[in-house]
Structure 1
C-alpha cells in the first residue's frame, strides 16, 4: 500500500518545481533525476557559453585584421621613409636619415666603404671584419651598375682565394660566379691568388700583393622620426 501512495504523490507533483528526486535503480544505487527547471538553466548556460565563444572568436578575428592592417601600414611607411631619405641623401650624402655610418656609401639595402690604402688580401679582409663588414661581393645587376659608376682600379674583391691563376674576366660575369668568399682563410702565401677590380674587369694576382679596400655590410632601417624632422625635398 505504501508503494502506491508514493507513486501517487510523485505523479501529482508539479514536475517543473521538482528538485533532485531520488530513486533506487534495480541494483540498489541512488539515481538523481534532474528537474525540468534545472534543465532549462543548463540550457541557458550552454547558450550563453556558445554566444560568449562566438563573441571571443569575432573579437580575435577583428584583432588579427587590425594587426595585419597595422603591419601593412608600417611596411608602407617604412618604404616611403626610405624613398624620401634616398632623395635627401642624393642632395646631402651625410644626411642624418642615412642608414649607413659616416663616410659609407648607401645603395639599396647595403653600405659600402671605399678605402684607398694598400693592403694584402688577408689584411683587407680583416679590416672589413673590424667594421662588421666583408670585402665587396657583386651578386646582382643593381650592385654591378653601382660599382661600375665608381670606376674602381685595384680594389680587392670578396672572391675565394685559389691555387690556380685565373685569367681576367669581365666584371659582369661575377654575378653568376660561385667563387664568392664564404670561409676563413689563414696564412695565404705567394702561391695563392686573389681577385680584384680593375675598372670593368676582374683580374687575379698573388694574395700577398697589396691593393685598395672596399667593404660592404647591411644597411640599417631608415628611422621614420629622422625623416619627420627633415625638410622635404622639392619636386
Structure 2
C-alpha cells in the first residue's frame, strides 16, 4: 500500500498542485510515512495570500458591458470546469485510497491530465478574448479623452435656474415670501414664466416640503367639480392618492367651498389641507429647467 499512497501524494502536491477536501471542509494530502490524510490548510493559505496580493495589485481595465459580459462569463465557466476536474480526482482518491491499484491510479491519472489540458486550452482562449476586450476599452477611452481635450466632445451640464429658484430633477421651484390668495399666487408664477407646482411623486413631495416654512398654496384644486382634484398647470386629475401627504381627515371641504390645496403647518406637522381659495398665504411655483431663458 506504500507505493500507491506515495504516488498519490506526488500526484496531488507536486505534479498537479491539487488539494482535496474532506467531509468537514478541511484540505488533505497523502502522507507516505503515516499512510493517512493530513491537513494542508497552512500550505494553501500561503498560496491564497499570494493570489490575493496579486489580485489587489492588479488594475482592472474599464469595462464596456456589451463587449465584456460574455467573455467574463466564459472565463468564469472555464475556471469552474477546471475546479470540477480537481474535485473529481480528489473525491476518487479520498474514497479509494485504501484499495487503489496501480492500474486504477494510472487510468485516473491519464484521464485527469487529459481533462485538465483541455480545460487549460479553453481557459487560455477565453483569456485571449478578455484581453481583446481590454484593448477595445482602452482604445475607446483614449479616443474619447482626446476628443474631450480638443473640445469636440460636449459635456452635459444641468441648466441653471433663475436666481431665487431651486433645481430638482430637471425642474426649478420658487417658494414665495410674499402672500396672496390662490389666484394671485398663480398670476405671480405665470409672470415669472412658470405655474403652480405639480407634485408627481414622493421624492418631489419631500423636496418641496423641505423648503416650505409655513402655509403655502400648491397647484391642486377641485374648483371645477367637488371631490375631483386636478393639477391646474396641465389639467390632469390627481388620482395617485397618498394619505401620508395629507393631515388626518383631509380634504374635508369643511363648511363648504374649500377647493384649494395648501401645505398647512400645524402642531409641528407640515401636510396638505383644503381651504378656501380666498385665504392669503405663500405660494409655490414650478417651471422646467429647459424652459429657463438664457
What TM-score range do you get, normalising by the shorter chain? 0.3 to 0.5
Point out the structure with the larger strand share: 1
Point out the structure with the larger helix share: 2
TM-score, normalised relative to structure 1? 0.43
Q: Which has the larger radius of gyration?
A: 1
Higher RCO, 1 or 2 (CA under 8 Å, sep at least 6)? Answer: 1
TM-score, normalised relative to structure 2? 0.35
